[in-house]
Amino acid sequence: MPLFIKPGGVRCRIAPSPTGNLHIGTARAALFNYLFAKKYGGKFILRIEDTDIERSDKVFEKNILEGLQWLGINADEGPEAGGPHAPYRQSERTASYKKYIKKLLDEGRAFYCFHSEQELKFEAKEQMSMKLPLFHLCSFRDMPQSEAETKKAAGQSAIIRFKIPTEPSNHQITFQDLIRNQVHFFTGLLGDFSIAKNLETPLYNFAVVVDDHEMAITHVIRGEDHIPNTPKQLLIAEALGWTTTNEFGDIVPPWRYAHLPLILGPDCSKLSKRHGATSVDEYREQGYLPEALFNFMALVGWNPGTDKEIFTKEELIQEFSIENVQKAGAIFDIQKLDWMNGEYIRRKPLSELAELTMPFLKESGLLQITNHKSQITNDYLKKVLALEQPRLKKLSEIGERTDYFFRAPAYNKGLLRWKDMNDEKVLAALKRAEEIIKLKVKSLKSKIEIEKIFLEEIGEGDKGEILWPLRVALTGKKASPSPFEIMEILGKEESLKKLKTATRKITG
Ligand code: GLU
């Protein structure tokens, strides 16, 4: 299907509603819009859809803006970046909506509906009991506007509905979708849908069409949950005179649609809290890197047609193709994200990794910063990080993996036992390790040297009898890097101190 790349350039948008924190689904939609726009040298626009005054909150708006910025999905136009189509918040665009709602009312394409909520609920209940599709073909649809105005002036409350064309009845609406090809709908199932609470308060389906038109959007790339809204939006656009008709009589909007597959959890149901984190800031807090999440999300529903999985931002922009976005639901595979995050962690220079892990070490109470100075040197921190960099999957794991480098380990003396060793044997092993360090190892500068000396000294036999109690004395953990690597970082004095503590644990 032709991609509809306009000579004036591609203009994509993400239009989040600030009724919750930045959701992974919205971030993925933003990313696909961004990649598509950038691939064709176009613009990526951010529009805040805060028409739902009761549920919209500035706190959520801030969270969304910060989340996108953290991910590096930067808008060319938006509430912060500004742009030629400002304002980019729906709450500031009332004048436009009012103008177009009025136009539809004046032209008889919209009308005031005076049915109460109760009446509408009753109607819906009846339709449900008869297993009919739910829709409201309103008895006020042909009431002259002047009469409706009088009713309103007398204090009767009303909302504004779009007058669905009934001629021809149950007309088929077809639209082209860049991912799903042709999508069909029947107008008979839509009813006279609502478009505004009043002239100043448009509802989503109306506001979105006005904005996409006024912001000269060329491609509407969004979640498949919006497919049912699309015929309504097409009819509104047509009524406002912004569409054309093709040779088959289909309404052709000035933009192309692409509806993205739903994001699913590993059990193939829609991704939800049940599966784990669903908002971008939760991933940030758990120690995922923005580059990793960016790369990972690009592969949720899109595949490059090769086995390649690690992409730079530039590569993704080049290689992204809307044609290769799948129709079927896309699994959010957290294990793959963990793997990918680890890959990105391994690519970080140690100085940057130190910066990145610092907040996590502070949060776990391992790193104290007083007067801008920490209790450890940057060099020490880098050595600790170098040890764990090959294994780390998330920055947040750093505390639990390296705590023994920052404070005395807490453990049960039983952990010092290798196989069926008793306390006496453990004590002897700790003493032997102490002797080797004191007498044989000049400095603990090189893990290779330390290892060589220890292995020579232990000689034949079960090495675990010395090395296990030694390693546990240093770390207090069942699993950790080798004692040689650890001693190299801790140094002679600190290693001996830890052996003493272990001895005291047994002797009481
Ligand atoms: N405000 C809508 C949402 O957050 C945007 C839908 C659209 O992209 O048209 O889902």
Three-state SS annotation for 375-408: CCCHHHHHHHHHHHCCCCCCHHHHHHHHHHHCCC
Counting from 1 in the atom list of ligand 1, the atom nearest the Cα of 208 is 9
CA of 208 to the centre of ligand 1 (A): 8
pLDDT at 322 (0 to 100): 96
For residue 8, pLDDT over 80 is answered with: no
Q: Residue 387 has which token pair? A: 């040890």
The ranges assigned to domains in the chain are: 11-88+262-334, 93-260, 349-405, 413-507
pLDDT at 159 over 80: yes
Instruction: Tell me, in angstroms, the distance from the centre of ligand 1 to residue 204's CA.
Output: 8
Hey, which of 23, 45, 219, 222 would you mutate to test ligand 1's pocket, going by the most ligand atoms within 8 Å of its Cβ?
A: 222
The CB of 409 under 6 Å from ligand 1? The reply is no
3-state secondary structure of 432: helix
274 token code pair: 């049940």
290 CA from centroid of ligand 1 (Å): 23
Q: pLDDT tens across 463-507, in order? A: 999 999 999 999 999 999 999 999 999 999 999 999 999 999 999
pLDDT tens for 280-310 read: 999 999 999 999 999 999 999 999 999 999 9
For residue 188, give both structure tokens. Answer: 């008979």
Domains 93-260 and 413-507 share a fold: no
Ligand 1 centroid to residue 224 C-alpha, Å? 11
Indicate the top mutation candidate among 226, 257, 262 to test ligand 1's pocket, ranked by most ligand atoms within 8 A of CB: 226
Catalytic residue among 58, 125, 273, 308: 273
Mean pLDDT of 155-165: 97
> Is residue 68 classed as helix, strand or coil in its secondary structure?
helix
Mean pLDDT of 235-258: 95
User: Is 273 one of the annotated active-site residues of the chain?
Assistant: yes
In sequence order, the β-bridge partners of residue 159 are 113
**With 70 as the cut, is the pLDDT of residue 326 above it?**
yes
Tell me if 16 CB under 6 Å of ligand 1. Answer: yes
- Whether 170 and 188 have beta carbons less than 8 Å apart is answered as yes
Contact 68, 28 (CB under 8 A): no
For residue 150, give Cα distances in angstroms to 112, 114, 153, 417: 11, 12, 5, 90
Helices (H), 49-116: 58-71, 94-106
The chain-wide mean pLDDT, for the chain, equals: 95
Predicted confidence at residue 442, as pLDDT, reads 73
Q: Per-residue pLDDT for 444 more than 70?
A: no
* Sign of the CA dihedral running 6, 9, 10, 16: negative
Ligand 1 touching residue 211 (CB < 6 A): no
How far does residue 46's CA lie from ligand 1's centre (Å)? 11
- pLDDT band at 377; cut points 50, 70, 90: confident
So what's the pLDDT on residue 11?
Answer: 97
Q: Tokens at residue 325, please?
A: 């976005």
* Residue 49, ligand 1, Cβ within 6 A: yes
pLDDT of residue 3: 87
Closest-lying ligand 1 atom to the alpha carbon of residue 29: 8
CA 159 – CA 199 distance, rounded (Å): 9
Q: What angle do CA 175, 176, 182 make, to 5 degrees?
A: 85
Q: Is the pLDDT of residue 415 over 90?
A: yes
Q: Domain 93-260 has what CATH class?
A: alpha beta
What's the pLDDT band for 461 if we cut at 50, 70, 90? confident
Tell me which residue has its CA closest to atom 10 in ligand 1: 16
pLDDT at 439 over 90: no
Nearest of 470, 465, 466 to residue 481 by alpha carbon: 470
Which of 317, 234, 285, 298 shows the shortest CA–CA distance to 44? 317
With a 6 Å cutoff on the Cβ, whether 17 touches ligand 1 is: yes
Q: Is 125 annotated as a binding residue?
A: no
Q: Can you tell me the mean pLDDT for 395-410?
A: 96
- For residue 466 and ligand 1, the question of a CB distance below 6 A is answered with no
Q: Is the CB of 208 under 6 A from ligand 1?
A: yes
CA distances to 154, 202, 240, 243 from 101, rounded to whole Å, are 21, 8, 9, 17
Q: What is residue 66's predicted lDDT score, i.e. its pLDDT?
A: 98
Question: Which atom of ligand 1 is found nearest the CA of 49?
Answer: 1
473 contacts 502 by C-beta, under 8 angstroms? yes
- pLDDT single digits (tens) 172-201: 999 999 999 999 999 888 999 999 999 999
Q: In Å, how far are 174, 239, 245, 431 from 104, measured between CA atoms?
A: 23, 7, 20, 90
From atom 6 of ligand 1, which residue's Cα is the shortest distance away? 15
Higher pLDDT pick, 440 / 312: 312
Tell me if 222 CB under 6 Å of ligand 1.
yes
- Between CA 495 and CA 473 the distance in angstroms is 9
pLDDT at 296: 98
Mean pLDDT value of segment 34-56: 96
- What distance in Å separates the CA atoms of residue 177 and residue 257, rounded to the nearest whole number? 5
Atom 5 of ligand 1: nearest residue by CA position: 15
Cα atoms in the Cβ-side hemisphere of radius 13 Å centred on 335? 1
**For residue 206, how far is the Cα from the chain centroid?**
27
CATH number of 11-88+262-334: 3.40.50.620
Tell me the mean pLDDT in the region 364-384: 86
> Domain 349-405 adopts which CATH fold?
Helicase, Ruva Protein; domain 3 (1.10.8)
CA of 52 to the centre of ligand 1 (A): 12
Residue 443: is its pLDDT beyond 80?
no
Instruction: Give the amino acid at 217.
Output: I
Instruction: For domain 413-507, give its CATH number from 3.30.70.1150, 3.40.980.10, 1.10.10.350, 1.10.1740.10.
Output: 1.10.10.350
Give Dmax (Cα) for the chain. Answer: 104
pLDDT digits (tens, 9 = 90+) for 48-102: 999 998 999 999 999 999 999 999 999 999 999 999 999 999 999 999 999 999 9
259 has which bridge partners? 222
Here the contacts of 419-427 (C-beta below 8 Å, separation 24 or greater) are: 419/462, 419/464, 419/465, 421/465, 421/469, 423/506, 425/465, 426/469, 426/506, 427/503, 427/506, 427/507
Ligand 1 pocket, 15 CB below 6 A?
yes
**Residue matched to tokens 């090809």:** 181
